[in-house]
């Protein structure tokens, strides 16, 4: 075990020295159910095992110096799943928040949540608020759970609030630009992701951070989320470090 920890630290140091560590990583944690069914288990087993991947990735990101980690935990579309599965997911969320709050606090990690949180069950709200309150002053990393979230909902919600403030003369029409609009999104206090990882091999962003992903580097991993651990994270960051982020410019402009 000690030799594995030493090897892991060496890998992390190599990553830090070889290039930029993404400030903000966003992850679509896909494939819990498919992984479980492939092994002959229920989808619930896959969701439970996925929690172990969350724990490992959060810890590894904190150790690497990632400042923000956003996990697509439950989308607005997920409410359409069978009621029994949604109930299990909510129970797992309650248990996870209860079990992990102390660990996050010990590791100086702040927990926040973004999404249409009013749709969450009361007990989830209570556990979520307790965990966020406990970790609110932590500085090492911010873990953002995207709960009852969708990119389209986020944009429509921003438009509604922007319209209301225009109508109430709190802002002027001519003041509206990309920066102002971003301030009306639920992620207003979080920088846009540098790297977005999706597990499960699907080549789509599934209504996740539609505005925020405009210039994010995308990495698709073919393995399912319960199989995704820190070694896979390191591989994704290695690929990210080979990318040239031009933001609409040409290479020559970046070298000036």
- Which residues are identified as catalytic? 30, 78
DSSP 171: S
Six token digits for residue 154: 């986020």
Measured CA angle at 75 (ends 243, 195), to 5 deg = 10
What's the CA dihedral at 155, 149, 224, 34 to 10 degrees?
-110
SS (H, E, C) 97-142: HHHHHHHHHHCCEEEEEECCHHHCCHHHHHHHHHHHHHHCCCCCEE
Q: Is residue 228 within 8 Å of residue 221, measured between CB atoms?
A: yes
- Decide if 15 contacts 7 (C-beta within 8 A): no
- CA nearest to 242, candidates 219, 213, 212, 214: 219
């Amino acid at each position: 075990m000690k030799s594995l920890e030493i090897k892991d630290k060496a890998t992390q140091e190599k990553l830090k020295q070889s290039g930029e560590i993404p400030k903000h990583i966003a992850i679509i944690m896909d494939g819990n159910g498919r992984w479980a069914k492939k092994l002959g288990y229920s989808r619930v087993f896959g969701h439970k095992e996925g929690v172990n991947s969350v724990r490992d990735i959060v810890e590894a990101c904190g150790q690497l110096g990632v400042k923000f980690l956003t996990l697509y935990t439950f989308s607005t579309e997920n409410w359409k799943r069978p009621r029994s599965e949604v109930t299990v997911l909510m129970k797992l969320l309650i248990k996870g928040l209860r079990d992990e709050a102390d660990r996050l606090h010990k590791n100086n990690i702040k927990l926040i949540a973004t999404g249409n949180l009013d749709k969450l069950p009361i007990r989830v709200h209570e556990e979520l608020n307790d965990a966020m309150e406990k970790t609110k002053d932590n500085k090492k990393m911010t873990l953002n759970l995207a709960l009852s979230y969708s990119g389209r909902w986020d944009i429509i919600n921003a438009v509604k609030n922007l319209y209301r403030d225009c109508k109430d003369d709190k802002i002027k029409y001519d003041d509206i630009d990309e920066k102002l609009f971003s301030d009306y999104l639920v992620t207003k206090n979080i920088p846009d992701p540098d790297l977005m990882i999706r597990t499960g091999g699907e080549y789509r962003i599934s209504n996740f951070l539609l505005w925020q992903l405009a210039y994010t580097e995308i990495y698709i991993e073919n393995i399912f989320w319960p199989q995704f651990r820190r070694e896979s994270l390191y591989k994704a960051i290695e690929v990210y470090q080979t990318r040239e982020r031009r933001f609409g410019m040409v290479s020559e402009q970046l070298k000036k």
